[in-house]
Amino acid sequence: MKPLLKILDQKGVSLLEIMVGILILSTGILGVAGLQTRALYGIKWAQHRSTAIFLGQSELEAIPFDDLDNHHGSSNEKEIDLDNIKYVVKINVDPLGTASQKTVEVSVSWLNKLITIETIRFQ
């Protein structure tokens, strides 16, 4: 019975318990740092995607309704540099069914990513 009492009377913390506590704490901190890195990547991706959508929509709206025939069957390409990122905007206009209907497709690519906006316009 005497050895059991000596264990219960022990005061303080052993070096092994401290090391286990530090290991658990450092694992948690590394997990939070990893989540922070992923969040920053997601924010940057969303920013680039929003910029690409804005550029594509701007180019789509810049085409006059009566000028669709000049874009018919052609593929216009424009490079835009923003924040040291090169965005390539391609516009393609094709006939749809009748002579007054055209399909307008605007593709924006950047950093090996691509987004496409497509609409139908009537003359």
Higher pLDDT, 73 or 67: 67
Say yes or no: domain 14-122 is CATH 3.30.1300.
yes
Q: Which pLDDT belongs to residue 87?
A: 95
Count Cβ neighbours within 10 Å for each residue of 28-63 and write b for 16 or more, e otherwise. eeeeeeeeeeeeeeeeeeeebeebbeebbeebbeeb
User: Where in the chain are the domains?
Assistant: 14-122
**Whole-angstrom Cα distance, residue 14 to residue 72?**
80
Polymer length of the chain: 123
Residue 84: alpha-carbon gap to chain centroid: 16
Interval 25-52: pLDDT, tens: 999 999 999 999 999 999 999 999 999 9
| 104-108 average pLDDT score | 91
Amino acid at 68: L
